[in-house]
Amino acid sequence: MPVSRTVIENCAVATVDANDTEYAVGHLVLADHLIESVGAGPAPRDLERVVRRVDATGHLATPGLVNTHHHFYQWITRGLATDHSLFDWLVALYPVWARIDEPMVRAAAQGSLAMMARGGVTTAVDHHYVHPRGSGDLSGAIVGAARETGVRLTLARGSMDLGTSRGGLPPDFAVETLDGALAATEETVDAHHDPAPDAMTQVAVAPCSPFSVSTELLRQGAELARRKGVRLHTHGSETVEEERFCEQRFGMGPTDYLASVGWLGPDVWMAHCVHMRDEDIAAFARTGTGVAHCPSSNARLAAGIARVPDLVRAGVPVGLGVDGTASNESGELHTELRNALLISRLGPHRQHALNARQALRLGTHGGARVLGRADRIGSLEPGKLADLVLWKLDTLAHASIADPVAALVLGAAAPVSLSFVHGRTVVEDNRLITVNEDAIARTTRDQARRLARIAAGD
């Protein structure tokens, strides 16, 4: 069947390929769901079956942003516990989250995905680990919301089985049993995981954290993931309190503990990784274990400054994450490009920590690498999937910045004029065209109020 082509030209292009190739004025040609060509100057004029030609003067084209860590359900609990450290924040919010149900999760997923897509995200991870009894098909609700929005999804099916009565942090009524969590995770993989290279939905096995999950759930979860051929995800080394918990309970730090139960490897990525020793970084680099860096959430919860420059220089795969919007109320990944750069410069490397192009790489190719998908997404190259964004940089907010990558990373949040996922238009003129933003805003407000009433006992 003949392909249909979209031509984009007259824009700056940051390919984020292995050589960081850029074009001051360039073009892209999309053929159905693939990138057919990228280059300098205008596109060839003799192309057949061109269904759309975009004059992108004043824009920067980049790969779509890849969000490697999020908790969609938290969209309806934003703005709570705003002055807490992680453990206190969790203790305050676990009783609220344990009341979520399918309509709430669907609305929260819609809100999270809509906000991310408007801000240039084309691939997103949802680490969902709260599964109250009788709450409905939460995984199906999340997958359905992503399908409607048009964003590529990795559903990290999370779980918790270590309640307070067994020394964990979440209340007992908020956790699953070991067998129940493993069975439900396997069912989610069977129902929703697509192993194809161009998959729109994939599933990862994702027990929540060392302080909410038993050793056996981590060990058997890793075995399950490898038997099913899917990736593994969890939180790791987020706070000094977590480090202290692992030392007291297991007699070792978080990295050594997770390594002891099979949780280091090229099929694993961990969120945060703020408190990493040199030997931890070396272990991640040696095994190919990935990191989801969440700078705004780390700051919101006073977790600390992650050693991202050291991780990158050691060869560790590093991407960016929004994290849940109860600890990053903006819910946008493009602001994390800027925050990753700025916060890293508060550390020991100062102005040499990260530059604008390294920050863009974290948010695109780095994230694709963390998710094991860098051969198909994360850079603008012929043969890769047509996931890309056109950022408008000719308005008051950016027009006087000559370097378009610096304008995108260091300037104000840039409007998205066009966003494509799998060659399909998701955003146009800074507005979602796949779903109704206003309707989602109303639904998320209503479900947030409903959850607040239920949590208060009304």
28-38: per-residue pLDDT in tens?
A: 999 999 999 99
Residues constituting the chain:
458
Residue at 135 is within a domain: yes
288-312: per-residue pLDDT in tens?
A: 999 999 999 999 999 999 999 999 9
Question: Confidence class of residue 458 from pLDDT cuts 50, 70 and 90?
Answer: low
Is 402 strand, coil or helix?
coil
Q: Where a domain ends, among 370, 405, 423?
A: 370
Residue at 401 is within a domain: yes
Indicate if the pLDDT at residue 155 is higher than 70: yes
Contact (Cβ atoms closer than 8 angstroms) between residue 303 and residue 296: no
User: Is the same domain home to 393 and 305?
Assistant: no
Q: Where a domain ends, among 340, 370, 400?
A: 370
Question: Which parts of 80-162 are beta strand (E)?
Answer: 121-128, 152-159
User: Is the same domain home to 200 and 276?
Assistant: yes
Contact (Cβ atoms closer than 8 angstroms) between residue 231 and residue 371: yes
Mean pLDDT (whole number) for 7-32: 98
User: Is the same domain home to 263 and 323?
Assistant: yes
Residue at 439 is within a domain: no
328-382: per-residue pLDDT in tens?
A: 999 999 999 999 999 999 999 999 999 999 999 999 999 999 999 999 999 999 9
What are the CA-CA distances from residue 336 to residues 53, 165, 211, 271, 353 (Å)?
A: 31, 37, 27, 14, 15
**What is the DSSP track for 314-345?**
HT--EEE----TTS-TT--SHHHHHHHHHHHT
- Return the higher-pLDDT residue of 174 and 23: 23
**Whole-number Å distance between alpha carbons of 63 and 141:** 27
Q: Where a domain ends, among 345, 370, 395?
A: 370
pLDDT at 168: 84
User: Is the same domain home to 319 and 390?
Assistant: no
96-117: per-residue pLDDT in tens?
A: 999 999 999 999 999 999 999 9
User: Is the same domain home to 83 and 27?
Assistant: no
Contact (Cβ atoms closer than 8 angstroms) between residue 5 and residue 47: yes
User: Is the same domain home to 227 and 354?
Assistant: yes
User: Is the same domain home to 52 and 91?
Assistant: no
User: Is the same domain home to 71 and 20?
Assistant: no
Residue at 444 is within a domain: no
Range of the domain at 405: 5-63+384-432
Instruction: Please state, rounded to an integer, the average pLDDT across all residues of the chain.
Output: 96
User: Is the same domain home to 392 and 281?
Assistant: no
User: Is the same domain home to 341 and 398?
Assistant: no
User: Is the same domain home to 312 and 349?
Assistant: yes
Question: Confidence class of residue 170 from pLDDT cuts 50, 70 and 90?
Answer: confident
Selection from 371, 253, 258, 367 nearest residue 318 by Cα = 367
Contact (Cβ atoms closer than 8 angstroms) between residue 81 and residue 92: yes
* Total number of domains constituting the chain: 2
User: Is the same domain home to 116 and 51?
Assistant: no
Q: Residue 44 sits in a domain of what CATH number?
A: 2.30.40.10
